[in-house]
Amino acid sequence: MKFLRNLLAAVLGSLIAFGIVFFMFLIFASLASTEEGVSVKDDSVLELKIPYPVQDYTGNSDDDPFNLFYEPVMGLDEIIHAIHIAAEDDDIKGISLNNNFLMAGISQAQAIRKALENFKSTGKFIYAYGDFYMQKDYYLATVADSIFLNPLGGLDFKGLAAEVLFFKDIQDKTGIKMEVVRHGKYKSAVEPFLDDEMSPENREQIAALLESVWESMVTEISEGRELSAETLNSIADTLGARLPDYAQASGLVDGVLYADEYENRLKLATGTDLEDKQPVVDVQDYMKRSSKRKIYSGKDKVAVIYAQGDIMYGEGGPNIVGQGLITKALRKARENSQVKAVVLRVNSPGGSAITSDIIWREVELTKEKIPVVVSMGNVAASGGYYIAVGADKIFAEPTSITGSIGVFGTIPNISEFAEKIGINAEQVGTNLNSVDYSLFEPMSPQFRGYVKEGIEEVYETFLRRVSDGRNISMAQADSLAQGRVWSGVEAKELGLVDELGGLDDAIVAAAELADIEEFGIRKYPRFKSGFARFMEEMASARSDGVQTQLQEEMGQELYSVFSELKTVVQQRGIQARLPYTIRIR
């Protein structure tokens, strides 16, 4: 008994000691993060290196020490703000773009590129250097005055492509399948479960979308490099920039240099002696300094509300659009007497139809009191378009993916698999429809009819929202719908959006609608603190460990496919979701 008491005391003492050390660490980390801002020397170069995934908005304090426990992310709003402040900072003489494998969407890259164009208009220089340029990295780099490439590097410039995986044959072989009900001939989110090849309609919309996005990229690259679109497409067709010497000969880069030679170019540009060290400030450090300076200021406010991630029923979070956080944010904004307008920043492929409609309703209620303007990010499609369509004005980037006005439902079924392995399920119920569906039984025509009825009702409601929001007839809305996706350029031509532009353009438009000239920005929502997230995830540590192990064993590419399949299987209720995932590299 004495042994057990001593053992318990030792364990308890160790836990207390660990807790004290742990919280002392947090205190020191917090103190370190609140030190005075980063010092910037004269004739400094801002190094724009973006090594972490980019989100439109992080929504958490940089001073939260528990953020140390999570994979770092960078906020697009903070990156662009830092570039704007650097343009007016006399200590910053230029920007060095030094980035490989940019982990951001093409519209996010386009937004950063526009901010860099504004920076360059002040007369300051931008140079770019890369060991290897993927197409998205190169697209961003073409804003620079000069682009340099490592002698043993490469440049991936070949045009855009998309790949869709199909699962019909494996469903037939295993007996494990997804029952599908949909509306919209282009609503191809579920096509991989229905066929073993791409439908003509799906091929048509993917080709048109890629062409439109590529055309937007080529237009800006053409202006940056002073090469015609025909020349650029010829280089892409022949892989004419695949080697560093080819890239220089084709005019895609200005020089083939090692990193130390590039550093000497920076010194020459800033007037620094070649024997001295070039003062450089990292953009992540500069973001801390620039956060203390504001571009917009005034008693009146424009609220910017970020809706980013899949739309799912519930509270939501940094990567999930839930009705909880978004409706609270909209209510806070319209009930705050200082807030004169709202900009809803949408970066979502859609998801739950009922959640989309709940958020749409809150946009309508907000619009009755103050103007609401939408800014579309990488994607604002299906449910993402649903929550946007009621706004007074909609802005999209040329490369934004939008539309996809259609709905579907998927229900897993393993009846054939169960029969193969000898499982028989029997049901007992009190009423005719109390046992409406079983995973182990084929879907009945009657139940399919009920699901179809719900799909049609949601689709009609979706069309009505589009018809009312865009001031067009139901027939016109239907002609633009059927689940088809559009680029921002196409959406502007079709009247699904009002203007091409970024978040800053939307903010200015919102202020104009509210008839205010001087105003500050208030951002919503605020996500859970690092401590709250840490405690939640401690409770589910076993699940997270399994997920991490799967990712390590499968590799990132296969794990991405697994994650997408998992998302489809976990969907609940009728979905208004983008038909496929497009990754532009």
Q: Give CA separation, 277 vs 95, 190, 271, 272, 315, in Å.
A: 16, 57, 12, 8, 50
Backbone angles phi, psi at 373, to 5 degrees: -120, 140
Instruction: Give 257-316 as a DSSP string.
Output: --HHHHHHHHHHHHT--TTSPPPEEEHHHHHHHHTTS-SS--SSEEEEEEEESEE-SSS-
Q: Are 106 and 584 in contact (CB under 8 A)?
A: yes
As beta bridge partners, residue 281 has 46
- Between the CA of residue 325 and those of 317, 549, 558, 570, what are the distances in Å? 7, 31, 32, 21
Q: Are 344 and 376 in contact (CB under 8 A)?
A: no
* Closest C-alpha to 322, from 307, 304, 337, 332: 307
Q: How many angstroms separate the CA atoms of 200 and 203, rounded?
A: 5
Q: Respond yes or no: is residue 479 known to be catalytic.
A: no
Q: Is 116 helix (H, G, I), strand (E, B) or coil?
A: helix
- Rounded distance between C-alpha atoms, residue 414 and residue 412, angstroms: 7
- CB of 373 within 8 A of CB of 342? yes
Pairing of β 401-403 and β 485-487:
antiparallel
3-state DSSP: the chain helix, strand, coil percent, rounded to 5? 45, 20, 35
> Could you say which DSSP state residue 444 is in?
P
Residue-wise DSSP of 36-75 = PPPP--TTEEEEE---S-EES---S-TT-GGGGGS---EE
- Phi/psi for 314 (5° steps) reads 140, -160
Let me know if 187 is a catalytic residue: yes
Q: Residue 179 forms beta bridges with which residues?
A: 411
Give CA separation, 525 vs 301, 304, 328, 513, in Å.
Answer: 15, 9, 8, 23
CB 396 within 8 A of CB 488: yes
DSSP-assigned beta bridge partners for residue 94: 45, 125
Q: Which of 96, 212, 348, 382 is catalytic?
A: 382
Q: Which residue has the tokens 């992310």?
A: 73
Alpha-carbon span 303 to 221, nearest angstrom: 34
Rounded Cα gap, residues 57 and 344, in angstroms: 12
Distance CA 568, CA 553 (A): 22
- For 322, the enclosing helix (H) or strand (E) is none
Q: Give the number of other CB atoms < 10 A from CB of residue 362.
A: 23
Name the 3-class secondary structure at 190: helix
Catalytic residue of the set 124, 136, 177, 187: 187
Helix (H, G, I), strand (E, B) or coil at 146: strand
Q: Which residues are catalytic?
A: 187, 382
